[in-house]
Structures are given as C-alpha cells and as structure tokens.
Chains A and B, each alone.
Chain A
Amino acid sequence: MTTPVPVGPIPTPEFEVELGRGRVRFVLARLRLMWRSFRSGWGIFMESRMGRLSLFTIVAFALMAAAHPILMAFVWDPATYDPVTGYSFDQVEQPAPPSWKHPLGTDPLGRDVLSQLLYSTRSEFVLGITAALVTVGIATFVGAVAAYYGRLLDAFFMRLADLIIALPAISLLIVLSALFHLNLFYLALIIGVLGGFGGTAIILKSQALSIKVKPFIEAARVAGGGDFHIIFVHIIPHLLPLALLYMMFTVTSAIFAEAVLSFLGLLDLRMSWGIMIHTANTGGYLLGGTRYWWLIVPAGASITLLCSAFYLAGRALDEVVNPRLRRRND
C-alpha cells in the first residue's frame, strides 16, 4: 500500500468521486465474493437431508405465521376467531373437538385453537430471531474485541461468560419473572444478552483468535489500519458464518425458554404455544389423555418441531462452516 498522500491542492470533487467509485468497486467485489461463498455453502447445506428437512419445516412455520393476519382479515370473523378474545358461541360445550368450523377445535375458553396456533407462530419467530440477533450481535463484538485486545479485557469477558454458563438459564428467568414483568421483547432481550455474553462469546472468541493470527490481519495493520477498522472490516466478517450457526441454536433455546415459562404461567404475553398448554393444564384437561388431544398436541408438536428444525438447521450449517465435520469421500 504505497498510495502517495495527496499534498498541495485540496482534493477536487473529481478525486472524491474517484475515491467513491473505488469504494463502490471494493464493496461490490466483496459482495460478489460473499455471494459466491454463500452459493457454495448453500449447496452443501441443501445436500444434507438434515438441512433440507429443517429448512422445509421452518418455511412451513413461516407460512403459517404469515397466514394468520390474512385469515383474520378476509376469512375469519374476529369475534369468533380472535386468538385471545374470541368465543365460539355455536358450540354447546367448550372445549369442543375439531369440526369444519374449527379444524383444531376450541380451547376451554371457547377460542379457536388453530387461530391461536397460527397467531403464536409469529411471536415465536419474533422472539427467536430477536434473541438470536441480540446474542450474535453481542457475542460477535465481545468475541472479536476479547480476541483482538486480549489480556484484561479478554479475561474479564471470559470469566463473565464462565459465570453465565454456570447458571441454569430457566431458573434464572423464573427468578427474573418474579422481579419484572416479562413481555416478549424483554424476554428476547434477556435471552439474547445471556447467550451473547455466555457460551456463544467463548466460541466466537476462539474463532476470532484463529483469525487474528492470519497474515491478512498483519497486512492490514502494516497498511495502517486502526484497531477499529481491523475489528470491523477484517475480523467480524469472518466470524459471521459461525455467528449464523449460533443464531440457530439461540432461536431453539429462546423458543424453548418461552414455552417453559409460559407453561409455568410466568410470562406477560397475549398468546403463545406455552400459554396454550398452560391453559389446558390449569383446566385439568391434560390428564384426560387422548380425549382432549387438540389442546396439547398441536402446541406441543409445534414447539418440538420448530425447536428441532432450528437445531437441525444449526447442525447442517455446522457442516458448512466446519469442513472437518463433512462426511469425507474416502
């Protein structure tokens, strides 16, 4: 890098434009490179049965989430079908078994189970993805900074991570729900923060350490790149594939945590899969066994399916990110 420092006249607008174009070209080249590695990664992901299956499940749930507002707007009458305030007056007995009008029956309070199920799907996605973004945002930054600066900063963040992973998360969330009123957003935030400063930070840090010693970091430093520039332009982009992987696992744990807390009746949410099971359980319908299956099976199966879909997606991504795990051809 021997670009001469411009001396003399103040750079003209043309020069600025030139610099701008260079920047655009640089960004474009980078994007093209990312697109290419994304395509090859996508190929590997889709090659595994686990990857295809998980993607299919996630897309199916996303469609379910998208279907709810449409159904509410055009097909379903809110007075009957609202997931929280609706009531099905034409049923003699609540909970009513599945019928044409209510494909998954109604719950003990006379509300449509399918509507509840679809409505909750959206909140699960919002929760999972928010928590995952928070986790990965924090963990990427903490990991990169801890690896880059090392010493005290590293020691502090790693001890903090040790402390967080030593704590049982569900129990901690139960305690927090006693002190604060947890809604979906706070829950996502707390899970994200716990994950971001916890185990994910440790893993991303060790990845960042292996990037830090690569020659191009040294080259960037020799070329006069500042710490900030190196961390954000050279280290963090290389952490993103692994970060994406851990996003999947965070989504799983966020959905699971929400379901457990809702089941225990500790969350301040309108509706969720956990609340559906909670409602059925407090009414004592669960011990009726298969008689009231529609109260527990759809919600329970959805939790399990979506959780394992994100988990499996993570495992399939793992094979993309860690070539070591790929099935060897010999």
Chain B
Amino acid sequence: MTGYLVRRTGQMVLTLFLIITFTFFLVQAQPGDYASFYVLNPDLPPEVKDQIRAAFGLDKPAWQQYLIHLKNTLTGNLGVSFGNFPRPVLDVLAERVPRTLVLFLTATAVSFYIGFFLGKAIAWRRGGLFEYGATISGAMLFTAFTPAFALMMIWVFAFRLGWFPVGKFLDPLVWRGADVSANYVFGNMLLSAAAFITFALLVMLFLKRFGRRVPSVVALPILLGGALVIVVAWTLSGIGGLALDIVKHMVLPVATLTLISFAGTMLLTRNSMLETIREDYVMAARAKGLPDKQVRDRHAARNAMLPIVTSLVYSLIFAIDGSVIIESVFSWPGTGLTLLEAVRSEDLPLVMGAMLFIGTLSLLAHVIVDVLYVYLDPRIRYQ
C-alpha cells in the first residue's frame, strides 16, 4: 500500500513540476513579455528599457529564465503582483487561499454527504414520488447554468427574502470601529473549526474502542457540548459579532456551491447503488437477517461508495471550477475572484500564482482521493 501511495505522490509531484513548466512556457508564448507592461511607454529611452528587461531577467536566454523561474517558484517567490503593488503574490494568495478553502471544503463535504445520503435512499426505495422528484431536480441542478443559478439564489434569498447579505466577505458597517482585522477574526474562526473537527475525531476514535454497540446517543451530546463551548467562547470574546457577520456572508455561497455539486454525487450514488444491490453479498446480508438499514448502509452503500470515490476527483475539479464562478458572482474574495481580477487587469504574476494554487489544489484532491480509496478498499490496501 505504501508503495502505491508513494508512487502516486511521486506522480503528483512530477505533475506539479509539469504545471509550473507549462505555465512558464505559456507566458513565453504569449505576445510580448512581462516587461512590455512598462516598456510600452514611448517616453522611456532605450537604455532604461534595457535596464528594465535586465531587472526582470529578460535579457537572459529562455532556459536560464526557466531555471530561475523554477527556483523562485519552489522557494515560494512568486514575484510581485502588478495590481496590488508592491505586495508579493504569495502574500496576496496567503490572504485569499483560506477563504477559498473554507468555501470549497465546506461545500464539498456537505454536498458529498447529502448527495450520498439521498442517492442511496432513492436507490433503495425505487419508484414513488420521492425518487422521481429527487432525480428530476438533481438533473436540473446538474445541468443548470451555474452563474444564472447563483444569481437566482442571490435574488431569492438576499433580495426577496433578505435573509442573507448580497455578496462580499463582510459588511463594512458592522466592522466600522472594529480594532481587529478581518483576517485575524477569520483565522481564529478557522482555528476553532479545526479544533472542533479534531475534537470530534478524537471522540469518535475513543468511542470506537467500546465497539459498535455504543449507541450514537453518547456521541451526540459530547459533540454538541463541544460546539456549545466554542460558541460561548466566541460570544465572550467580544468579536463574536464580527465572526457572525462573516458566517452570514458565507452561508449563501456555500449553499449555492453545495447545491450545484451535490446533484452529481446523488445521481452517481443512485446508479452505483442499483448495481451493488444486485450483488450476492447484499442478498447474503439480507439472508443473515440483518436489519434493513444495516443491509443498506453497511453492505450496499459501503460498496457503492467505491466507484463514487473514484469519480470524486471529477466532482472535486467540477467544484473547483464552480467555486471560481461562485466567487465571482458573490464577490467572495477568494482565489477564484483573485484569478479573475488578475486576468482582467493583466496582472500576470498573480494569474500564475493563482493558477499554481488551483493546480495544486486539484492535485491535492487527487492524492486525497487516492488515499481515501486505498483506505476504503482492502483489495488495494493489501496489495
């Protein structure tokens, strides 16, 4: 198993290297170069133009430029953003990346959970209005034009109902006079979330030692208690209102991304379940007298999950693209919006940096899916 994972990770590192190379030559291939941004100014004397080119390293041969680019990228030097001069690209990304990750991870986790749950339920009880409705609305969500759908969500929930803010990351009115930065509050929110997830995992791990006979009745109050502690801590901290403002802004983008990505998982789960239900071990599980729910969840759905995990890569990449669109519609200042703004203002270093991040995220998704698959399928685990 370790061999398999090492090999896959090796491939991923190679792919990342290829992406860096590819982006470099793409920039080389485009008309003009980095410096033309400055050099186009007709007032500049030729010597100054040459100096600028030399400062960018553009007087060197392409292969040397490439090596320099490679070295810089690997040491985290992604250059300076034109649009946010003089902030380094890495600095801009460091601010934006967590926002995208939160949007993306929450939506992915929720949509996978809902999609899987609904998919297995409609496959198990075939026929009837529920299956029909879920399949139709799933197919509609799956094929809906994402920007139009996002705009519709804004119109319904922000304009008509007024439940959530229209877009952006925070409300300036709430933040006026606040003596902490948004990044500070958001960073602490992330820490809290991470702490809670760790806590939940530890509790699960601990309870698992008592065997499967421990009912979830025990786990639920403990987890709720943990959540309560965090909420109380935030309320007492004095910046709870600010955090709440960010959460309010988060709900609609996350919900939209969840809705557009859950349908794929649901339809896939349904198909996969319909195949698995015919397997002999599902029949055997029923013959053993296991309760219906156990047959469905532990035998049918557990195996139906395997092909879903394989195609999870595609769902994740779909969600990455989706989050770029969602960020632009909701003006959510994450990597996707950064990429778009950089593209519009021809801020090439930032474009490259954002693309590098998005590429890395896709590759990480690949690795995570591989690990998950190995974990879920003992036939690969013990090769």
Contact = CB atoms under 8 A, between A and B. Distances in A.
A300 B155 contact: no
A256 B145 contact: yes
A266 B343 contact: yes
Given A170-B321, A289-B160, A303 B343 contact: no
B143 A307 contact: yes
A15 interface: no
Contact of A303 (B11, B27, B145, B359): B145
Contacts of A308: 139, 143
Nearest to B318: A168
Contacts of B358: 168, 171
Interface in A158-177: 159, 162-163, 165-172, 174-177
B317 A166 contact: yes
A172 B23 CA distance: 10
B294 interface: no
Contacts of B351: 175, 178
A296 B151 contact: yes
B95 interface: no
B340 interface: yes
B151 A260 contact: no
A311 B263 CA distance: 15
B362 interface: yes
Nearest to A255: B145
Nearest to A169: B321
A270 to B, nearest CB: 20
Given A169-B321, A287-B154, A289-B160, A178 B348 contact: yes
A296 to B, nearest CB: 6
A5 B93 CA distance: 72
Nearest to A286: B151
Nearest to A296: B148
Nearest to A256: B145
A311 B145 CA distance: 14
A130 B359 CA distance: 27
B113 to A, nearest CB: 22
Given A177-B343, A300-B145, A311-B143, A166 B325 contact: no
Contacts of A303: 145, 148
Given A167-B359, A170-B324, A175-B355, A287 B340 contact: no
Contacts of B366: 166
B159 A176 contact: no
B27 A179 contact: yes
B143 A263 contact: no
A172 B343 CA distance: 11
B148 A175 contact: no
Given A286-B151, A303-B145, A180 B30 contact: yes
Contacts, number: 106
Nearest to B347: A178
Contacts of A260: 146-147, 325
B362 A166 contact: yes
A300 B148 contact: yes
Contacts of A96: none
B343 A174 contact: yes
A18 to B, nearest CB: 54
Given A162-B15, A168-B320, A179-B30, A304 B145 contact: yes
A277 B339 CA distance: 21
Contacts of A169: 317, 321
| Interface of B (DSSP majority class) | helix
Interface in A263-279: 263-266, 277
Contacts of B11: 159, 162
Contacts of A177: 343
A287 B346 CA distance: 28
A282 B28 CA distance: 33
B258 interface: no
Nearest to B166: A287
A281 B150 CA distance: 12
A163 to B, nearest CB: 5
Interface string A294-305: 001000100110
Given A167-B359, A287-B154, A277 B320 contact: no
B251 to A, nearest CB: 18
Given A166-B363, A260-B146, A176 B340 contact: no
Contact of A289 (B26, B155, B340, B343): B155
B159 A277 contact: no
Contact of B151 (A172, A265, A281): A281
A16 B132 CA distance: 64
A293 to B, nearest CB: 11
A267 B321 CA distance: 17
B269 interface: no
B318 to A, nearest CB: 8
Interface in A207-254: none
Given A170-B324, A174-B324, A259 B348 contact: no
B312 interface: no
B144 interface: yes
B320 A171 contact: yes
A215 B173 CA distance: 75
A18 B163 CA distance: 81
Interface of A: 159, 162-163, 165-172, 174-180, 256, 259-260, 263-266, 277, 281, 286-287, 289, 296, 300, 303-304, 307-308, 311
5 smallest A-B Cβ distances: which pairs? Answer: A178-B343, A300-B148, A170-B321, A308-B143, A179-B30
26 contacts: A159-B11, A162-B11, A166-B317, A168-B321, A170-B324, A174-B324, A174-B340, A175-B26, A175-B352, A175-B355, A178-B343, A179-B27, A180-B30, A259-B145, A260-B146, A264-B328, A265-B344, A277-B148, A281-B151, A286-B155, A289-B159, A289-B160, A296-B151, A300-B145, A307-B145, A311-B143
Given A168-B362, A174-B339, 18 more contacts: A162-B11, A166-B15, A166-B313, A166-B359, A166-B362, A167-B19, A168-B324, A172-B355, A174-B324, A175-B26, A264-B325, A265-B344, A277-B147, A277-B148, A281-B151, A287-B166, A289-B159, A289-B160
